[in-house]
Structures are given as structure tokens and as C-alpha cells.
Amino acid sequence: MADLSQPFDVLVIGAGNAALCAAITASQEGARVLIIEWAPREFRGGNSRHTRNIRYAHAEATDYVTGPYSVDEYWEDLLRVTAGRTNEALARMVLEMSERVPEWMMRQGVRFQPPLTGTLGLARTNAFFFGGGKTMMNALFAKTEELGAEILYDAQVTGLEIEGGCCKSVSVSVDGETHRVSARAIVVASGGFEANIEWLKEGWGEAAENFLIRGTPYNTGGPLRILLDNGARPVSDADQCHAVPIDARSPKFDGGIATRVDCVIYSIVVNKNAVRFHDEGEDIWPKRYAIWGRLVARQPGQIAYAIIDAKSQGLFMPTIYPAIEADTIRELAEKLELDADVLGKTVKDFNAGVQPGEFDAAQPDGCHTQGVDPPKTNWARKLDTPPYYGYPLRPGITFTYLGVEVDETARVLFGARKKPADNIFAAGELMAGNILGQGYVGGLGLLIGNVFGRIAGEEAARRAAN
């Protein structure tokens, strides 16, 4: 174990993408770095190990993306999904810096793969990691270790001694013993609080009990809470998060990417009362998957069921859990424990409303319903070809947005006067709400962590040297 009695130059809390970007940069600047990670080594990498791709601006197609994606288009996408809830100066800085991010990652040993096709259709805008997020993180860990940064696993940060925006020491619990570690600067990169159901209840009430958490159980927001309690300025709100529909049979934590259910646009989705509640065919799935977690979260019991017939099998990414299958809608209702009469009526009314049209699975096809509430505006086809399939859905929380406000040097801002901290920097999910007040564009989470992680690492090393 690292000698915790001596002060470090830079202490980094967490060992996800943002933390390692900070640690690598600070080490490259000559700082002596300690990383404190709550998870055991075999579960290292936080939510970052579940990722697949990063969105970045680029002028033309490359080996990894199929076409250009300008900073302006990226900005328009961000503005649309956040409805303006973003700090424009910080967001533009991130998007502009994004152009060089894959190159930086490759220099640290990360590998990308040729563009993929698939339901999320991100091949033009996002570069995918060869081997996925875990391999990407292993490359960053290898680089971190090569540079001499020390990593302490199974170590939970339980306290920060903060005076006038200056962190004097960090309390770290290891094997039931608390150590006070001092460092000239700290980078807090301990993720959001999505694994803290009690905290989620502040935004969602009791409904949060029924949420499933797609990522690490260690992101319970301890260091975030300590910063807020010490006067750091909050950004975004307790109920703002990225949430997608995942299979209700998934584990409570860490199910990762494989638990997502992508058939919604080809389905009808009913709640536990067996009635529909939202237009399933509003737009292509990449533009809608992130609203469906929240939609399901607002339904009674936080559960819903996507129902398709034989015609739609094979049109979407295979699911990790098999569909619940039946030869009739009545039998399916019984298997899903739904009221068979009500589900029968829902399907009959829906089928009666389906208008003739040319079905096209790949793009909005205008196949719609009439006289059905809510309408289905694309991919509306009668459910009439057995077998019928049902997937139970629950909200899968990816990460939360409530965080701490930072400036362009990644310094945490304190109090009504927005006083920049002396030696406290933040990166990643913990401050993503500065850019993402609401909404999401796929591949932005890692980008925010990369850009702010590197800024935080550089600034923290500079602060430590002075």
C-alpha cells in the first residue's frame, strides 16, 4: 500500500475515465499522484468500463467514423437535447477540444475500431473502442501505472477537510481504518450519485426504489455530497439523469450495456394497467431511447411492457433475456400478469387505428395510426402475426446530472459569489451537469470526462507546483 503519511502533489478521487485522464495529465506534468478508488481492483473503471464510444467533432470521414461532424453541428445537437440548459462557454470549449480527443486517447494506448452499423446509428459522429470500454480503461490504467501514479483500491473517500475553498486533507477508509491524506491539490472524479437510491428519492420519490442502475454500485455520490455541504455551487437537479428502458429482469446494479431493450419503436408499449401511454414511433431510436427510461419511471410501479409480433423479431439488437412468448395476446397477457381483457382491447383498438403504408424499419416511414390515443406516428403495424413477444421494462439509470459548478480551469466554484476553489478540481459525471442540464447525446459523457479530466490534471499539477 502507498505510504499515506507523506503529502502527495495531486490526489485523484475515483478511477474512472475522468480520474485517469486527470492522473495521466498530472503525472505527465511531473506531479506525484495518488488515486483513491473505492471499488476492488477487479471492478475498477466505474461506469466508464461499460462504455462503447465517444462523440467528437471532425472535419471528414476517417478510419473510425463515416463522415464529417462539425463543432457547430455538435453544438446544435447539444442545444436541442438540453433545451438550452447548458453553460455555453464551457460546452463550446469541450466541443472544440473534442477534435483532438481520439488522437490523445490513442497516444495513451486506446484503440478504435472501424465504424459499426447497428440500432443506434452513431457511425458518423462517434468513434467506437476496439474491445469496448473495459479495454479502453485497461489502456488508461496501464498508462497511469507506467507513469508512476499510485492507485489505492478498496479505499473509500469519506471526508474532505475544506477551509475557504482549500482542501487540507482527505479522509480515506481502508479495511475499516480511516487515514487522513494530504495533497497540494485534489481532483474529485467520483462519478454521480446514481447508485444511491435514497438520494435518487429526493428527485423521484419512492419510485426510485424500482429503478435499476446500469453502472457501478460505488457511485453513491459521497464526495459530491461533501462538496455541496461545504458550499460548492450545485448545477442541474436531483431528478435529471440519463435513463433508458432496460429489461426488468436485469440485476439491480452493473448490468451494463447488454440489458437495454431496443424494440420500442417497432412495438406497442403498455403500462401495468395494460394501456399505452406514449407514441412509440416518434423518431428513430437513437433520438428517443434516452426519453423512454424517464417515461417508464413515471408509470405506475415503474414498469412497462414492450409487445411485438413475429414480424418485428430480428429488426433490433438481440436482447440478453429471452422475450416472453405466446401464441395469443390473451396468453401473453397472462404470462406478463396483465389484465387480459384490457390488453386485448388495447391491441384491438391499436390495430383498428393502423393506416395502410409502406413499412421501413430503417427510417421514419410515416406508417401511423388514426383515432388512437396516444397516436403512433411511425412504424405502426398491426399486431396480428403470432407468436407474440413481450419484454418487461424498467428505468435503467445511466448517470445523474446534479453536480458541482466549475469554471474553465475545472476549479469547483463556491458560494453566491462563485469563488473558484484554491485547490479543488472536478471532472466527469460529478460536473457533467454544467454541460448537460438535461437531455443527452450519446458519447458525450466520456468526452466531458476526458476534457475536464485533462484540464483538472494539468491545473492541479500546476497548483501543486506553486
Ligand X SMILES: Cc1cc2nc3c(=O)[nH]c(=O)nc-3n(C[C@H](O)[C@H](O)[C@H](O)COP(=O)(O)OP(=O)(O)OC[C@H]3O[C@@H](n4cnc5c(N)ncnc54)[C@H](O)[C@@H]3O)c2cc1C
Rounded Cα distance between 59 and 76, Å, is 16
Give the phi and the psi of residue 163 in degrees, each rounded to 5: -130, 120
Rounded Cα distance between 24 and 143, Å, is 7
Could you say whether residue 22 binds ligand X (CB under 6 A)?
no
Compare residues 312 and 450 and give the one whose CB is closer to ligand X. 450
Q: Which range of residues in 112-120, 179-187, 218-226, 290-298 is near ligand X by CB under 6 A?
A: 218-226
Closest contact distance (angstroms) between CB of 308 and ligand X is 23
Closest contact distance (angstroms) between CB of 260 and ligand X is 8
x/- letters, 223..262, toward ligand X (CB under 6 A): x--------------------------------xx-----
Rounded Cα distance between 200 and 93, Å, is 30
Rounded Cα distance between 197 and 205, Å, is 10
Compare residues 73 and 365 and give the one whose CB is closer to ligand X. 73
Closest CA to 237 of 433, 421, 392: 433
Q: Can you say whether the dihedral through the CA atoms of 452, 457, 458, 463 is positive or negative?
A: positive
Could you say whether residue 115 binds ligand X (CB under 6 A)?
no
Could you say whether residue 446 binds ligand X (CB under 6 A)?
yes
Among 9, 37, 247, 309, binds ligand X (CB under 6 A): 37
DSSP annotation of 406: B
Q: Which range of residues in 99-107, 213-221, 277-285, 387-395 is near ligand X by CB under 6 A?
A: 213-221
Binding to ligand X (CB under 6 A) within 122-161 occurs at 156-157
Could you say whether residue 319 binds ligand X (CB under 6 A)?
no
Angle at 402 between CA 401 and CA 403, to 5 degrees: 105
Could you say whether residue 426 binds ligand X (CB under 6 A)?
no
Among 165, 293, 449, 457, binds ligand X (CB under 6 A): 449
**Residue 122, C-beta contacts closer than 8 angstroms, at least 6 positions apart:** 53, 55, 116, 128, 286, 442, 443
Compare residues 171 and 377 and give the one whose CB is closer to ligand X. 171
Using DSSP, state whether 367 is helix, strand or coil.
coil
Rounded Cα distance between 425 and 315, Å, is 45
- The strand pairing partners of 76, in sequence order, are none
Alpha-carbon 403 to chain mean position:
14
Give the phi and the psi of residue 316 in degrees, each rounded to 5: -135, 170
Among 54, 71, 263, 451, binds ligand X (CB under 6 A): 54
Rounded Cα distance between 453 and 466, Å, is 20
Closest contact distance (angstroms) between CB of 220 and ligand X is 6
Among 27, 47, 86, 87, binds ligand X (CB under 6 A): 47
Could you say whether residue 189 binds ligand X (CB under 6 A)?
yes
Could you say whether residue 428 binds ligand X (CB under 6 A)?
yes
x/- letters, 385..424, toward ligand X (CB under 6 A): -------------xx-------------------------
Among 4, 31, 33, 52, binds ligand X (CB under 6 A): 52
Closest contact distance (angstroms) between CB of 384 and ligand X is 35
Could you say whether residue 97 binds ligand X (CB under 6 A)?
no
Q: Which range of residues in 184-192, 265-273, 311-319, 386-394 is near ligand X by CB under 6 A?
A: 184-192
Could you say whether residue 222 binds ligand X (CB under 6 A)?
yes
Using DSSP, state whether 440 is helix, strand or coil.
coil
Using DSSP, state whether 150 is helix, strand or coil.
strand
Could you say whether residue 214 binds ligand X (CB under 6 A)?
yes
Give the phi and the psi of residue 323 in degrees, each rounded to 5: -65, 155
Compare residues 52 and 394 and give the one whose CB is closer to ligand X. 52
Residues in binding contact with ligand X, number by CB under 6 A? 42
Strand 177-181 and strand 166-174: the pairing is antiparallel
C-alpha cell belonging to residue 12: 485523484
Compare residues 250 and 346 and give the one whose CB is closer to ligand X. 250
Closest CA to 251 of 213, 223, 277: 213
DSSP annotation of 110: -
Residues that bind ligand X (CB under 6 A): 13-19, 36-39, 46-48, 50-54, 156-157, 189-191, 214-216, 218-219, 222-223, 256-257, 398-399, 428-429, 443-446, 449
